[in-house]
Structure 1
Amino acid sequence: MNTLSEAPVVKGWCPGLYAPMQAADGWLVRVRPEFGRLTAAQALCLAQEAEQHGKGHITLTNRANLQLRGFSHEQALAFPARMQAAGLGLPDPAQEKRLALQITPLAGLDPICADDTLLCARLLKAGLLERDSLSGLPDKFGFAVEGGGICPVGALKADILLQTDRGAWRVACGAARSLPLTGPQAVQLALQLAEAFVMQNEAQRPMRNPHCGARLFAACGQGFAESADHPSAVTPPVLVGQILPTLYGMGVPLGSLTVAMLRACAHSAASGDGWLYLTPWHSIVLAGQKTQPLLHRFVTDLADPRLRVFACEGVKGCAQASVDVPALALQLAADIPVTTAVHVAGCSKGCAHPAAADVSIVAGLQSYALVRNGTAGDEPTCHESSFDAVRARVRAWAAEKTPKEG
């Protein structure tokens, strides 16, 4: 059982379709829908999987993947074949592993998102599938294609990103950014940078070591611009409520879905364009809807503070946690204004929200470590011995951050 004095065990990898992970509540399995998109039929299939073989708990991750919890080892090993049949996995484990690819969730739906965003994503996917050499990339190494619009450039996090820029594309890798390119040129450069990462045997991913980006560009013989630090991600959009006519988002508190929630969402999607658009910001977008779907346990109010709290599974699902982390996070939600984001973690790894938050809290049995404007792994700003004291501290910090009226 983890305490604040114990260093968490860092596994260095995430579960994948062919790499289930053992957790405190059984085996964890994951699907990575193409571009974060599920058909209604696929969503119903996953709901059935979670109900029949797991514990009915589905997590929407910060990479727009879906994790199903509580599988037996036997069922976790049988899971990939069923997902292939549903169109949610590839037969080649090495190819499946390489497709850590995100895309602007509203590409093809948002009229001000770059028209060729989906094309670039498809070209990049094809390149990742073709290059066996990229199987040497670390498990967490990821790519993203950002077409801008309602979801601004910089909202996604990845090691190599294609980002639209005034009609052209640039490739960002760590703190380095390419010159303007066409979409196909940007795709080829992204693949070259990934191959250079493998060949150079870099110790850390660009997300962890921003300065390796410059070395990778130099290895590819490509010009680039470099900032002093890793480019700060912009504040991600809150895709909840009406986004555009016929386009509606539903918030998923803490990214936690029940079987009933996923089924209800699938049925609503079937009455629209038939797709569920998953976002890395704990929401699901439905298109072709006449009105806002009103589904139990989803959030449709932009002001709902549950949209701005983050939490891991806690003691129920992770051996490194010692308390019910989600319950603490939801209690804190009542105390925070819409301008404040709070992350509660069961250990300093901060799996649920690797980025900085206004307040990050590492919860242990005996005390709580609080970090202001940082991550769960940063040096604590202070410690509190009771949750009541934590709540008081969070309220005070939030009040300092909130602009005064008049």
Structure 2
Amino acid sequence: MKFRDCAAAVMGSPKSECQLSRCHTHHLLPALHGEGVPSLLSGFATCPGLFYATPAADGILSRIRIPGGIISSQQCRAIADIADQHGGGYVDVTNRANLQVREIRTGINSEVLQHLQDMGLGSRNSVVDHIRNIMTSPTAGIDAQELIDTRPFVQDWDNYIAAHPALSGLSAKFSVCFDGGGIIRVCDRLNDILFAAVLVDGNVYFRLYLSVGTKGQPPSDTGILLTPEQCLPVLAALTEVYLAHSNTTNNRRLRLLELLNTLGCENYLQEVQQRLPFSLLCSNLTPQPPSLVGKGEKFSPLLQGEGLGERLDAKYQHIGIHPQRQQGLFYIGVVLPLGRLESNQMKGLADLAAKYGSGTLRLTPWQNLLLTDIPQQWVGDVQSKIAFLGLDISATNIKSALIACSGNKGCASSATDTKSHALALVEYLETRVTLDCPVNIHFSGCEKSCAQHSKSDITLLGVSIEDGNGTVEGYHVYVGDSEHKFGRKIIYQYVTFAELPALIKRMLDVYKIQRLNSDESFGEFANRYTEKL
């Protein structure tokens, strides 16, 4: 049974517009965000979308879902035009490979929104446009080591969401990820549901992971193995069970984690099973490690460090020039400082993708960008033109792993101007420190840690510091890895920003001198180093 048939059996056929109007009370979006566009929310929404206006400290925020992070040159140009005409003249890539247009102060009329929809931007059904973006590896389909191309799964699930308006009852933070098991993996990203490709006895399966237990932890293995054909029907059943136990009229929708913790994972999965025409296969088999893929072994235990999480240094292996699985073609990973693209840079990259590649660009959950399908003879030319746009392709550039939230210029919750401070730190370090591997430095203006949910090498948590002349902006400094969301330990407290650049330089110098070898990451070094950095 194909997904569209099996999933229809789970969720039922899509409702007609007449039926939909009886299920939901529609409101018009405020004029600021276009008249005549239906929305399930009146006024502003707490989770932004293309059709859901969200206020921020720097104006109105619009977030455009890019399923799988893949976007065309034509779409890039259209979004850059929106940023120029209505926003701040720039676009931000988020940690779910969305695009955000900020500082919107003039109205975006319904004709413009309809044009964006016609170009394939945003959901074609606006009532589900607020649901979190579908995540997959940015190298899906071009990764030489992947077990399966996950792009069709992303597209099919996005189509299914659009065809079933009842899914508007899901939490706006309902998040799904497909990982194809390649070099660039997204298994460590925080998602409610993860389908991770594994190789068992020479066959590709997906292992099902669900978000249970403690908030802020990656999803947990359910022990269920699914064939590729079973993934999307199971996903449809998972959503139906969620809706059956949720009060969809409540403004605050339960997170899937909360519901799983309340019902119990086993009980939840039993209800999922009742909605499926096939049995869920529970297996204690261990997936074959990536190093053995294609070498003929039927089955093998996992090698140390090669689990479903992130492999050593894999997080930033997409930066730079890399061969694709398609012979003679390359992709180029471009560093976007703090995930931000000026509109002229966005148009320039779109032109490069159209002229030298296949006309597509790929956004990453690490807030960078890939140009794909570049013939080998044009790689040097494209690299030069990227540099001409003021961008870099080196993973050892201090900006390659630098993350910052919007800061107090864009968010009232932030204690500090994180983006300006991050750029000032880069300017200080670039002429004083030379890195030979990425160091992930994360500026967070408050405890919510919106810009990066996973652990970083160095976390700088914004705080207000009282001194004799009033209040100044500063940071707590965390390093290492632990159950604490920011790191193993806090090593410095209430460091003013004026003092911070020299302190970070000293920490990086100690790391370079005292590390065991060039393969030891800053996080690994900080975990074992007992002296104060």
Q: TM-score band, normalised by the shorter chain?
A: 0.7 to 0.9
Pick the aligned partner of 1:252 from 332, 336, 343.
336
SS across alignment from 1:239: coil
Contact in 2 for aligned 1:255/1:283 (Cα 8 Å) = yes
Q: What residue identity is the alignment partner of 1:197?
A: Y
SS across alignment from 2:457: strand
Contact in 2 for aligned 1:110/1:149 (Cα 8 Å) = yes
- Partner residue in 1 for 2:256: 205
Contact in 2 for aligned 1:28/1:68 (Cα 8 Å) = yes
Shift of 1:162: 1.6
1:386 aligns with 2:496: yes
Task: Summarize the alignment of residues 92-111 of structure 1 with structure 2, pairs less than 5 Å apart.
Answer: 92-98=125-131, 100-111=133-144
Over 3 Å counting, the alpha-carbon distance change for 1:322 and 1:98 in structure 2 is closer
- Partner residue in 2 for 1:21: 54
1:172 aligns with 2:172: no
- Partner residue in 2 for 1:220: 272
Contact in 2 for aligned 1:112/1:149 (Cα 8 Å) = yes
Contact in 2 for aligned 1:171/1:190 (Cα 8 Å) = no
Task: Summarize the alignment of residues 1-400 of structure 1 with structure 2, pairs less than 5 Å apart.
Answer: 13-72=46-105, 74-75=107-108, 80-98=113-131, 100-152=133-185, 154-166=187-199, 167-174=204-211, 175-201=220-246, 203-206=254-257, 213-221=265-273, 222=280, 224=282, 236-244=315-323, 245-271=329-355, 272-289=357-374, 290-291=378-379, 292-293=382-383, 294-295=385-386, 296-333=389-426, 334=429, 337=435, 338-366=437-465, 367-373=474-480, 374-375=484-485, 382-395=492-505, 397-398=507-508
- Structure 2 unaligned spans of 5+: 1-43, 212-219, 247-252, 274-279, 285-307, 324-328, 466-473, 519-533
Q: Cα deviation per residue 1:323-367 (whole Å; 9 max; x = unaligned)? A: 321122234342684353111122221211122212211223424
Contact in 1 for aligned 2:404/2:418 (Cα 8 Å) = yes
My pick for the range that moved more, 92-101 or 217-226, is: 217-226
Over 3 Å counting, the alpha-carbon distance change for 1:214 and 1:357 in structure 2 is farther
SS across alignment from 1:332: helix
Q: Relative contact order: is structure 1 or structure 2 higher (C-alpha 8 Å, sep ≥ 6)?
A: 1
**Quick one: distance in 1 between partners of 2:507 and 2:110?**
47
**Quick one: distance in 2 between partners of 1:47 and 1:279?**
18
Q: CA RMSD in A?
A: 3.2
SS across alignment from 1:264: helix
My pick for the range that moved more, 313-322 or 62-71, is: 313-322
TM superposition score normalised by structure 2:
0.66
Contact in 1 for aligned 2:65/2:121 (Cα 8 Å) = yes
My pick for the range that moved more, 345-354 or 268-277, is: 345-354
Shift of 1:14: 2.8
**Quick one: distance in 2 between partners of 1:76 and 1:57?**
20
SS across alignment from 1:179: strand
SS across alignment from 2:206: strand
Contact in 1 for aligned 2:125/2:163 (Cα 8 Å) = no
**Quick one: distance in 1 between partners of 2:510 and 2:271?**
47
Q: What residue identity is the alignment partner of 1:34?
A: P
Over 3 Å counting, the alpha-carbon distance change for 1:46 and 1:123 in structure 2 is closer
Q: Cα deviation per residue 1:189-248 (whole Å; 9 max; x = unaligned)? A: 12222222332349433399889655532432446579xxxx865552432211214221
**Quick one: distance in 2 between partners of 1:134 and 1:225?**
30
My pick for the range that moved more, 103-112 or 136-145, is: 103-112
Q: Cα deviation per residue 1:151-177 (whole Å; 9 max; x = unaligned)? A: 135154321122111111222112233
SS across alignment from 1:236: helix
> How high is the sequence identity, in percent, across the aligned residues?
24
Q: What residue identity is the alignment partner of 1:173?
A: L
- Structure 1 unaligned spans of 5+: 1-10
TM superposition score normalised by structure 1:
0.85
SS across alignment from 2:108: helix
**Quick one: distance in 1 between partners of 2:173 and 2:148?**
28
Shift of 1:183: 0.9
Contact in 2 for aligned 1:349/1:376 (Cα 8 Å) = no
SS across alignment from 1:248: strand
**Quick one: distance in 1 between partners of 2:131 and 2:423?**
35
Choose 1 or 2 for highest CA Rg: 2
Contact in 1 for aligned 2:148/2:181 (Cα 8 Å) = no
Q: What residue identity is the alignment partner of 2:140?
A: A
**Quick one: distance in 2 between partners of 1:203 and 1:95?**
16
Q: What residue identity is the alignment partner of 1:285?
A: L
Shift of 1:267: 0.6
SS across alignment from 1:94: helix
My pick for the range that moved more, 146-155 or 160-169, is: 146-155
**Quick one: distance in 2 between partners of 1:336 and 1:364?**
29
Over 3 Å counting, the alpha-carbon distance change for 1:240 and 1:146 in structure 2 is same
